[in-house]
Structure formats: C-alpha cells, structure tokens
Structure 1
Amino acid sequence: MSPSSVAQSWLFWAVLSAAFAALTAIFAKIGVAQINADLATLLRTMVILALVAAIAVGGGSWQPLSSVPGRSWLFIVLSGLATGASWLCYFRALKIGDAARVAPVDKLSVVLVAVFGVVFLGERLSTTAGLGVGLIAAGAVLVALG
C-alpha cells in the first residue's frame, strides 16, 4: 500500500484518532489536577478552535458560511452541543476518577454509536461486528467495576 493510499484509508485515520484520544486522556488528567474541570474544558476548546481554524484556513478548505445548508448547520450545531456536553462530563470524570477507568467507560460511546447507527440511520451490523460491539461494552463494564 503506497503512502498516499494509506493516508486515504479510514483505518489509518481511525487508529490515529484512537492514539490521540489516548493522549488526550493522559494529558487532560494531568492538566485538570489543579484547576476546575469546566475551566480546563474551556481552555482545551480554545486550543482546538485555534488549531482547526488554522488548518481550515491554511489548508484551503474554508468556504463562505452562507454556503452551508440549513440542515448541515442544524446537525453541526447539535453535534457541537453534544461534544461540549461530552467534554464537560469527561473532564469532571477525569477530575475525580482514574484515567485508566474513565477513558474505557467513555468509550461506551462506540457501543452507543453502533446502536444509534442501527436505530436512527438504518445501518446494519454484521454478526461479527455486533459481537465486537458487545465485547467493547463488556470490557468497559469490567474496567469500571475492576
């Protein structure tokens, strides 16, 4: 597989996402130790905003906001609200819990995405994928209880 085809692979980006998410948990646990969890979330959000704005503008993917369809606006705003709520809850959990227990429970989102995808988007899970989702759920529960 050539380097350019690797960069076009969903799996490549998903693995990078997982690696960065792992670092996020570790860095956040250390960063939130001496400050309020909500303030930590705000600071992280400001860093993300600056980074993504620089990438969008610098990478030439910026487009006039008036060209974004109303339906896209609605669901992007809803996604942003859900993201913000998730981050606030995540930082609070990290503030009071062990990162090694909080992060796996947070990954129950994988299970919920699979369920919501089936229920709301009409997606289908193969038997193997369904088993995998079940194992993720079981693993998260075992980590939380352990």
Structure 2
Amino acid sequence: MLAAMPSLGWIALGLLAALGGAGVTVFGKLGLEGVNPTLATALRAVIMALVMLGVALGTGQLGPLLFGKAHLTGRAWLFITLAGLSGATSWLAYFAALRVGPTAGVAALDRLSLAFIFLFSALALREPHGWRGWLGAVVLLAGVYLMAADR
C-alpha cells in the first residue's frame, strides 16, 4: 500500500492528509484529558517517529541514509531541520490550544497555515497565483474567523 501512495495523485493524497489531520485533532483533544500538552506532544512525536522509521525501513529508504548513500545536500538538511523545528513548534502550540480551547475553533485557526503557505509560496518561492487563488485566500480568512468566533 505504501508503495502505491504516490500513484494516488496529489488530490487523493491531500484528502487523505486532511482526514488524518482531523484524526489528530479529535483524538488529540480526547487524549489531552488530564494530560500535560507538552507531554502529549512528546508522546505523539515518539509514536510518529517510530511509525515513520518503520515506513522508511519497509520502503528501503532508511538503508541509504544509515550507510551514507542518501545524497542529502547541506541545503536539504537545513530545510528538513527547519521543517522539523516548525512542526514541533506547531504541535506544541496546537496541543496547548486544544487543551484550553474549543476543538473546532483551534482547528480553524490552525488551518490559517494554508493562508500563510499561500502567501509565502508567492513571496518566497515565487509561485504565481491567479485571482481565484487570492479570492480563495480571502474566503478562507473569512471562514476561519467565522469558525473561530462561533460561540
């Protein structure tokens, strides 16, 4: 199944990621009952690391890294490290917010990452966006506001 994932296409994979993200939110909120959010985040990271190591091992991707044949440049290491640090910051803040806030509101605010990604992809990556994309970003911002303010 894992080998077939890339052949699903970006839309199917994106929907699968969204479904997984919904599970993170709902299961995370349920798991935070009486648990420190930092501890919960650390446990989640360990579980994810074990799963991902298993996936990398099962797909033959871990061997080249362990034996120095992965061909990762310094630039790749830098940005993978920065992505890891960004992810850790996001997880810590997300689980802390879930602990004290409404699930749908926290999830809506977290999805502002889409607006940030859209903006940063235009500014830093020089990816062009048309009027539909910019309109979608505005509608997204309005939707996040409406969902986060729903009390």
Please say whether Structure 1 and Structure 2 have the same fold, judged by a TM-score greater than 0.5.
yes
- Structure 1 ranges of 4+ moved more than 4 A: none
Aligned to 1:64: 65
Match runs of 1:44-83 below 5 Å: 44-62=44-62, 63-64=64-65, 66=68, 67-83=71-87
Aligned to 1:13: 13
Identify the structure with the greater helix proportion.
1
Distance in 1 between residues matched to 2:113 and 2:87, nearest whole Å:
12
Distance in 1 between residues matched to 2:114 and 2:5, nearest whole Å:
26
Aligned to 1:110: 114
RMSD (CA atoms): 1.6
Decide which moves more: 64-73 or 37-46: 64-73
Structure 2 unaligned regions, length at least 5: none
Do the aligned residues in 1 keep the contact of 2:104 with 2:148 (CA within 8 Å)? no
Distance in 1 between residues matched to 2:113 and 2:81, nearest whole Å:
19
Aligned to 2:138: 134
User: How far apart are 1:95 and its partner, in Å?
Assistant: 0.3
Aligned to 1:123: 127
User: How far apart are 1:7 and its partner, in Å?
Assistant: 3.5
Query: What letter is aligned with 1:10?
Result: W
TM-score (norm 1): 0.93
User: Deviation per CA, 1:20-72, whole angstroms, max 9, x where unpaired?
Assistant: 10111000000011110000000000000000000001111222254311100
Do the aligned residues in 1 keep the contact of 2:25 with 2:107 (CA within 8 Å)? yes
Structure 1 unaligned regions, length at least 5: none
Q: In structure 2, the residue corresponding to 1:91 is in which secondary structure? A: helix
TM-score (norm 2): 0.90
**1:22 paired to 2:27:** no
User: How far apart are 1:123 and its partner, in Å?
Assistant: 0.6
User: How far apart are 1:115 and its partner, in Å?
Assistant: 0.2
Do the aligned residues in 1 keep the contact of 2:109 with 2:148 (CA within 8 Å)? yes
Distance in 2 between residues matched to 1:5 and 1:43, nearest whole Å:
26
